[in-house]
Chains A and B, each alone.
Chain A
Amino acid sequence: MTAQPLPPLQPAAGSAALSMRTKTVIVGGLIIGLYLLPFVLGESYLFLSIDFLIMALFAVSYNLLLGQAGMLSFGHAAYYGLGAYTVAILFNKLAVPVYIGLLASPFIAGAIALAVGWFAVRVTGMYFAMLTLAFGQLLHTVVMGWYGFTGGDDGLPVMPPDWLLPARNYYLFVLTVTLVSLAALRLITLSAFGTALNAIRENRQRAIFVGLGVRNYELGAFVIAGAFAGIAGAMRAPLQQMAFPSLLHWSQSAEPVLMALAGGIYTFAGPIVGAAIFVFTNFVITTYSEYPLLVFGVIVLLVVLYLPGGVAGAVIAAWERLRRRAR
């Protein structure tokens, strides 16, 4: 049995029913709600919300590869971690404040993604997955081993300036950066470039035949996804006040894949929903279980086996069934 191509593009059931205006109202309402959140939530939940925002950006940046271009990368954490280290190294070596370091992070992460992608887009499918994984682990090893520059496995401390220290302020900062980044990613997915990526996912062979420079498009997607993952990572380091090599580890790379699949990869909002599910589940499991990996693994196993459309897909399908019955 050979590898199956990705199924054709299916807009999530129900989304077609929403008019442009309803969508604008929903998104606008959500954004206002998110800005009001820190005035309602306690501090510990606020940290959880910051975690969610960062993971949402991480997952959406990843989905530019998996959902839009059909590229199964398994080394996305490398660029996420590099973003964190960009902030940390600039802070420690040159005393650059974290919010300036954040501006540099997409360029550093994107540049390394360009170097890796230049090799990686030579292959496709599972080969691409293994190669991105291998390169991701290489970057992890370099960060682990280069004590003088990265602090090795001790990590590098990061201290946000005083005005970013309170959870509420940092939340609002992360929310703003995430929303601007998501808006930029949304424009990219809707652009001619994004449409070309869709064409490559649907039928790579045909995309080549109609004259698309497929490899260049894939490389472009890889660099953009890496750059935005870098921004997500850059927001992670000040949150933990530390950059750790484990941010680049391959188990971290599995997270955006899980989030995208849990939420559904064929919509822009899917991975955001997936991030919410992931962060919440992770929080509950690590709080209550002595063996979080085991519980988490079993949940993932069950979702893969029984909920092919992801958790969000199952909810939408159930909603559709209910609505049909109501009519």
Chain B
Amino acid sequence: MMDEILIQALSGLSRGMVLFVVASGLTLIFGTMRIANFAHGSFYMLAAFLTYSVATMVGDRTWGFLAALCLAPPIVAGVGALIEWGLLKRIATRPHQYQLILTYAITLIVADGIKMLWGSDYRTVARPAGLDGAITILDMPFPTYNAMLILVGVLIAVGLHLLLTRTRFGKTIRAAVADGEMIGALGVNVQRLFTGVFALGAGLAGLGGVLAAPVGSVSLGIDSSIIIESFAVIIIGGVGNVMGALIGAVLIGVVHAVGILFVPKLAIAFVFIALCAVLLIRPQGLLGRNT
């Protein structure tokens, strides 16, 4: 039983890593622009469908997946930049509810747009050669692809950490999270920063979509499940904090996966118990700053 829980926890960890990649984009957007971006799940879903199309077009499953990995996130980042520049910018000074509704309208448009272009069938994406087998952990098989996801998640976390601490763009983002008005006063081009952050966030959602495509199903509706979990992640982790998102995502992934062993249908309830516990003890999130 113990081994079973451990393997299940590992598989939760790999799912948590995908969630982290998506939620880190959401938390950066929320932290910098104070927009709860509903369309984030749509970026994720769009990238998953793009992965399917690119992989089908290329034919070879290894090269197809790699091509999707190189193409889909930048395309989705571009879509994100267009949305920020063309739509969100125009209502930046209006109350919250307008931004929320605007991004909600985008989820509707993307969902039906995907249905129009790809139809409403389930799609699957093959795992790249060499990653379709299983490795043995504790005498139990564990999918190689999931092991790779854990590794990739760690790499992305390190990469984002370096981006945020070592580059000018990253430092500006952190400054914007801490005090948005101040950086405008200091002469940062806030408009360009917002477009950049939104594109980066959308790109991360896209990357998550590509990574998840070979393990999950590529179907309509994956947008709303990921967005709810991402919101839970950034509330647990603290807004604008990428390391908080990592902790939150791993927590949710593992708690959910282990919960499935005990109550298959209602495992998500455990996630919310964790969420409530965090809210009671630290309403600003585990690594959030008290404002």
Interface residues of A (CB under 8 A from B): 1-7, 66, 72, 74, 119, 122-123, 125-127, 129-131, 133-135, 137-138, 141-142, 144-147, 250-251, 254, 257-258, 261, 291-294, 296-298, 300-301, 304-305, 308
Contact = CB atoms under 8 A, between A and B. Distances in A.
Contacts of B35: 126
Given A1-B180, A293-B109, A300-B108, A141 B269 contact: yes
B34 A293 contact: no
B269 A138 contact: yes
B268 A126 contact: no
B190 interface: yes
B243 interface: no
Counting contact residues on chain B (CB < 8 A from A), the size range is 35 or more
Given A123-B279, A141-B269, A146-B266, A1 B101 contact: no
Contacts of B101: 254, 257-258, 261, 300, 304
Chain B residues touching A, majority SS: helix
A311 B109 CA distance: 21
B129 interface: no
A251 B266 CA distance: 21
A237 to B, nearest CB: 23
Contacts of B58: none
Nearest to B90: A305
Given A1-B190, A126-B30, A304-B91, A257 B112 contact: no
A142 B33 CA distance: 33
A151 to B, nearest CB: 13
Interface in B92-115: 92-98, 100-102, 104-109, 111-113, 115
Contacts of B106: 297, 301
Interface centre among B97, B100, B101, B272 (most CB of A within 10 A): B97
A291 B265 contact: no
A297 B181 contact: no
Given A4-B95, A135-B272, A291-B116, A301 B34 contact: no
A134 B91 contact: no
B102 A301 contact: yes
A133 B228 contact: yes
A130 B36 contact: yes
Q: Which of B94, B231, B275 counts the most A-chain CB atoms under 10 A from its CB? A: B231
B87 A129 contact: no
Contacts of B102: 300-301, 304-305
Question: Max chain B CB contacts within 10 Å: which of A1, A141, A254, A258?
Answer: A1
Contacts of A291: 112, 115-116
Contact of B112 (A1, A261, A293): A293
A252 B177 CA distance: 32
B78 interface: no
B33 A298 contact: no
B113 to A, nearest CB: 6
B93 A4 contact: yes
A301 B268 contact: no
A129 B36 contact: yes
B119 interface: no
